[in-house]
Amino acid sequence: MSKWLVEQSGTHVSYTSILLYLIDLLEVKDLESKLRKLSFGYRAGYIAKAVKYIDEQGGEEWLNNMRNLSYPEAKIQLQSIPGIGPKV
């Protein structure tokens, strides 16, 4: 899985570059199915829903704006993403 992300995202791999690449994939019909074929397993559904949600919120700009929030505010925003919750 990580090898595929490196290959698809280029040489500079960061969470942001991977996320932006996945947002670009939203146009791919049935992103979840494609991710499952690439061995993402049960995570495929979570990733597809999370990427779609982040895109709907404003994508990179929404994520970058979190830098201006306090920790508790940013935590609330991040936990609004499907599949992200408090660590147990």
The count of domains in the chain is 1
Does some domain include residue 88? Answer: no
For 51, other C-beta atoms within 10 Å of its C-beta total 25
Predicted TM-score (pTM) of this structure: 0.69
**Mind listing the pLDDT tens digit for each residue in 74-85?**
999 999 999 888
- Whether residue 87 lies inside any domain: the answer is no
User: Are the C-beta atoms of 81 and 53 separated by less than 8 Å?
Assistant: yes
Q: Is residue 86 part of a domain?
A: no
pLDDT at 51 over 90: no
pLDDT tens for residues 19-30?
A: 666 667 666 667
Residue 44 is part of which domain span? Answer: 2-79
Paired tokens of 19: 């996320």
Mean pLDDT for the stretch of residues 39-58: 88
Q: Which tokens go with 72?
A: 């508790």
Mean pLDDT over the full length of the chain = 79
Give the mean pLDDT of 49-59: 88
The two tokens of residue 16 are 């942001």
Residue 42, domain member (yes or no): yes
Residues assigned a catalytic role: 87
